[in-house]
C-alpha cells in the first residue's frame, strides 16, 4: 500500500547565494547560454521557413496546406508523425520522456541530468512534425534546449550547485525569449512556472539572459511584436464585465483542453501502438482534420495573425477551435515532440473573438470594442488558465501586441481565469506532467512545500 503523501523538505532557489570566486566564469557561461539559446531558436525558425519555401514555394505550413490536394493533406502529417516517432523511440527514456517538467525539476532541485542528445533528437522530431503539418508548437524544444545548454555549460565551466541551477533557469528564459521575442514574459515564465518563487540570485541571471537572447533574436529576425503592433481600446468601462466573463470562459475551456490532452495520452497508452506507429496514427488524425481545415496544421501562429487582421471568417471560429484542440491532442498524445503553448494562444484567440461576435450580435457592434482586443485578452486568459501564471500570460500578450490599452482587461481576465482554473483543477499543464511521476510542489507565503508520494 502507498503511504499518505508526506511533506519532504527540499532545497529551494532562495539558497542560491553567490559563492566566492568564479564570477567571471559565471558571466561568460551566462552570456554563452543566452546567445546559444537564441542562435538555436533562430536556426530552428529559419530552417523551417526555408524548408517551406523549397518544398512548397510558400513561407509557412498553413499556406502550403491550402494549396495541397486532399490526399497530400492526409498523408504528409502521417509521414511527419512517423519520422518524429522514430526519433522519439530512439531518444526516449525507458520510464519517461524528457520535457519541460525535467527542466523545472533540474532548476528547482538540481537532481536531473538533461541529455543534450535527447534534446537534439526531439528537436529534430518536432521540426519534422511541424514541417509535415503536425499540430504542435515549436517553443517546447527551444525552451528545453536553453535549459539543457545552461546545464552543459555549467558543467563545462565547473559551475555546479546553486549557480549551476541558475544557469539552467537563465537558459530556459533565453529560449522562451527567443521563441516569442518577449523578454519580460520570459523572466516571468521562469518565476511563475519553472521556479514558483522569486530569488534575486535566479532573477538576475534570468533577466540578463533574456535581454541578450532577445537582442540577438531581434538582430536576426527583426524587432517589434511578432503579431505586429496593435491598437485596441474599450468602448466603455462597462466592457470590463465582458472581459471578466471571457476569463471565466477561458478557465472552462482550459479545463476541457487539459482533460482532452490527458484523455488522449491515456487512449494512446492503452492502445498498445508502439512508436513510430502511434505518432503516425496521430499525424493521420491531424491530416484528416486538415482536409477540411488547413489552419489546424502548424503551431497556430498564422491563424492568429489572420484573426487579428480580421481576415478569418467568423464561421470558422468554433470549428477551428475544436479542430485545433483535437489536432494538438492527436500530435502531442501520440508522441510527436513539441509544445502546446502557441496552440493554446490560438485557442484563446478564437474564444475571445467568438465571444466578441456573440456580444456584438446581442448588443450591437458599437457597444463593444474591436474583435482583436477580445482575441488578445482571450489568448492571455487561456494561457493563464493552463499554466497558472497570470502575470506571465498578461505580459506575454502585451509584448506580443504592443498594445498598452488592453493591460487592464488582460490583468482582470488572467486573474479570473487562473483562480477559476485552480479551483477546478489544482495542477497546471506543466505540474500535471510532474505529478504523473510522483513529484509536485505547492507555493505558499512560507515558501515551497514539496509533496512526493512514498513508494512501496
Kindly report, residue by residue over 391-418, the tens digit of the pLDDT: 999 999 988 887 777 888 999 999 999 9
At residue 217, does pLDDT exceed 60? yes
Q: Does residue 276 have a cis peptide bond before it, meaning omega lies within 30 degrees of 0?
A: yes
Alpha helices in 116-239 (DSSP H): 116-131, 139-156, 161-180, 183-188, 200-221
CA pair distance 428, 258, nearest whole angstrom: 9
Grid cell, residue 50, equals 526555408
102 and 38 in one domain?
Answer: yes
**pLDDT-derived band at 451, boundaries 50, 70, 90:** low
Instruction: Please state, as a whole number, how many other Cβ atoms lie within 10 Å of the Cβ of residue 291.
Output: 16
Our count of domains for the chain comes to 2
Identify whether 220 is part of a domain: yes
Residue corresponding to grid cell 520535457: 99
290 and 161 in one domain?
Answer: no
CATH at 395: 1.10.3080.10
264 and 214 in one domain?
Answer: no
Identify whether 456 is part of a domain: no
pLDDT digits (tens, 9 = 90+) for 130-153: 999 999 988 888 888 999 999 999
CA pair distance 116, 64, nearest whole angstrom: 32
Domain end residue (candidates: 163, 193, 226):
226
CA pair distance 334, 278, nearest whole angstrom: 5
Identify whether 452 is part of a domain: no
426 and 306 in one domain?
Answer: yes
297 and 362 in one domain?
Answer: yes
Torsion of CA 375, 177, 150, 29, to 10 degrees: -170
Q: Which of 81, 102, 101 is nearest to 336 (CA)?
A: 81
Identify whether 337 is part of a domain: yes
Torsion of CA 359, 410, 256, 179, to 10 degrees: 130
CA pair distance 215, 104, nearest whole angstrom: 25
Domain end residue (candidates: 182, 199, 226):
226
pLDDT at 366: 80
Identify whether 297 is part of a domain: yes
**pLDDT-derived band at 115, boundaries 50, 70, 90:** confident
Look up the domain containing 422 and give its range.
237-436
127 and 254 in one domain?
Answer: no
Identify whether 442 is part of a domain: no
How high is the mean pLDDT of the chain? 85
pLDDT at 204: 87
3-state secondary structure of 440: strand
CB of 324 within 8 A of CB of 316? no
pLDDT at 3: 43
**pLDDT-derived band at 91, boundaries 50, 70, 90:** low
CA pair distance 301, 411, nearest whole angstrom: 23
200 and 258 in one domain?
Answer: no
Identify whether 232 is part of a domain: no
397 and 306 in one domain?
Answer: yes
Domain end residue (candidates: 226, 248, 272):
226
pLDDT at 427: 84
241 and 135 in one domain?
Answer: no
Grid cell, residue 24, equals 567571471
302 and 197 in one domain?
Answer: no
pLDDT digits (tens, 9 = 90+) for 322-354: 999 999 999 999 988 888 999 999 999 999 999
Instruction: Please state, as a whole number, how many other Cβ atoms lie within 10 Å of the Cβ of residue 261.
Output: 19
**pLDDT-derived band at 310, boundaries 50, 70, 90:** confident
Mean pLDDT of 177-192: 91
At residue 7, does pLDDT exceed 60? no
Q: Which of 17, 16, 30 is nearest to 153 (CA)?
A: 30
259 and 189 in one domain?
Answer: no
CB of 354 within 8 A of CB of 321? yes
Mean pLDDT of 85-100: 67
Grid cell, residue 229, equals 503592433
268 and 157 in one domain?
Answer: no
Identify whether 188 is part of a domain: yes
3-state secondary structure of 451: strand
Pairing label, strands 440-444, 447-452: antiparallel
Question: Edge-to-edge strand order for the sheet containing 440-444?
Answer: 6-8, 447-452, 440-444
Mean pLDDT of 269-291: 93
Query: Phi and psi for 226 in degrees, rounded to 5?
Result: -70, -20
Amino acid at each position: 500500500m502507498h503511504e499518505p503523501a508526506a511533506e519532504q523538505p527540499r532545497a529551494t532557489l532562495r539558497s542560491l547565494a553567490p559563492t566566492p570566486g568564479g564570477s567571471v566564469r559565471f558571466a561568460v557561461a551566462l552570456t554563452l547560454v543566452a546567445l546559444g539559446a537564441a542562435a538555436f531558436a533562430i536556426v530552428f525558425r529559419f530552417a523551417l521557413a526555408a524548408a517551406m519555401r523549397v518544398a512548397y514555394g510558400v513561407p509557412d505550413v498553413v499556406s502550403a496546406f491550402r494549396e495541397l490536394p486532399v490526399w497530400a493533406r492526409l498523408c504528409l502529417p502521417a509521414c511527419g508523425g512517423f519520422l518524429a516517432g522514430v526519433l522519439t523511440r530512439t531518444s526516449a527514456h525507458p520510464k519517461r520522456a524528457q520535457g519541460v517538467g525535467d527542466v523545472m525539476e533540474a532548476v528547482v532541485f538540481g537532481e536531473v541530468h538533461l541529455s543534450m542528445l535527447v534534446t537534439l533528437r526531439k528537436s529534430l522530431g518536432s521540426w519534422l512534425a511541424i514541417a509535415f503539418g503536425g499540430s504542435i508548437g515549436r517553443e517546447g524544444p527551444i525552451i528545453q534546449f536553453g535549459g539543457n545548454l545552461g546545464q552543459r555549460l555549467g558543467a563545462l565551466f565547473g559551475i555546479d550547485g546553486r549557480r549551476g541551477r541558475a544557469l539552467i533557469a537563465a537558459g530556459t528564459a533565453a529560449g522562451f525569449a527567443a521563441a516569442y521575442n518577449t523578454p519580460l514574459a520570459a523572466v516571468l515564465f521562469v518565476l511563475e512556472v519553472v521556479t514558483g518563487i522569486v530569488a534575486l540570485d535566479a532573477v538576475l541571471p534570468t533577466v540578463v539572459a533574456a535581454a541578450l537572447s532577445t537582442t540577438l533574436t531581434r538582430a536576426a529576425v527583426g524587432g517589434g511584436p511578432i503579431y505586429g503592433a496593435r491598437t485596441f481600446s474599450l468602448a466603455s468601462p462597462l466592457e470590463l464585465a465582458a472581459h471578466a466573463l471571457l476569463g471565466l470562459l477561458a478557465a472552462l475551456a482550459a479545463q476541457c483542453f487539459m482533460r482532452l490532452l490527458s484523455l488522449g495520452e491515456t487512449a494512446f497508452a492503452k492502445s498498445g501502438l508502439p512508436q513510430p506507429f502511434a505518432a503516425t496514427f496521430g499525424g493521420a488524425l491531424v491530416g484528416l482534420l486538415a482536409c477540411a481545415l488547413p489552419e489546424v496544421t502548424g503551431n497556430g501562429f498564422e491563424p492568429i495573425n489572420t484573426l487579428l487582421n480580421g481576415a478569418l471568417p467568423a464561421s470558422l471560429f468554433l470549428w477551428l477551435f475544436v479542430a485545433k484542440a483535437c489536432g494538438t491532442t492527436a500530435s502531442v498524445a501520440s508522441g510527436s515532440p513539441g509544445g502546446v503553448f502557441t496552440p493554446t494562444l490560438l485557442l484563446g484567440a478564437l474564444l475571445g473573438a467568438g465571444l466578441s461576435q456573440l456580444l456584438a450580435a446581442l448588443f450591437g457592434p458599437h457597444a463593444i470594442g474591436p474583435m482583436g482586443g477580445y482575441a488578445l485578452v482571450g489568448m492571455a486568459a487561456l494561457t493563464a488558465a493552463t499554466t497558472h501564471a497570470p502575470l506571465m500570460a498578461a505580459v506575454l500578450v502585451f509584448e506580443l501586441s504592443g498594445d498598452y490599452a488592453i493591460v487592464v482587461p488582460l490583468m482582470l481576465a488572467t486573474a479570473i481565469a487562473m483562480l477559476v482554473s485552480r479551483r477546478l483543477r489544482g495542477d497546471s499543464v506543466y505540474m500535471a506532467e510532474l505529478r504523473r511521476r510522483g513529484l509536485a510542489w505547492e507555493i505558499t507565503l512560507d515558501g515551497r512545500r514539496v509533496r512526493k508520494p512514498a513508494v512501496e
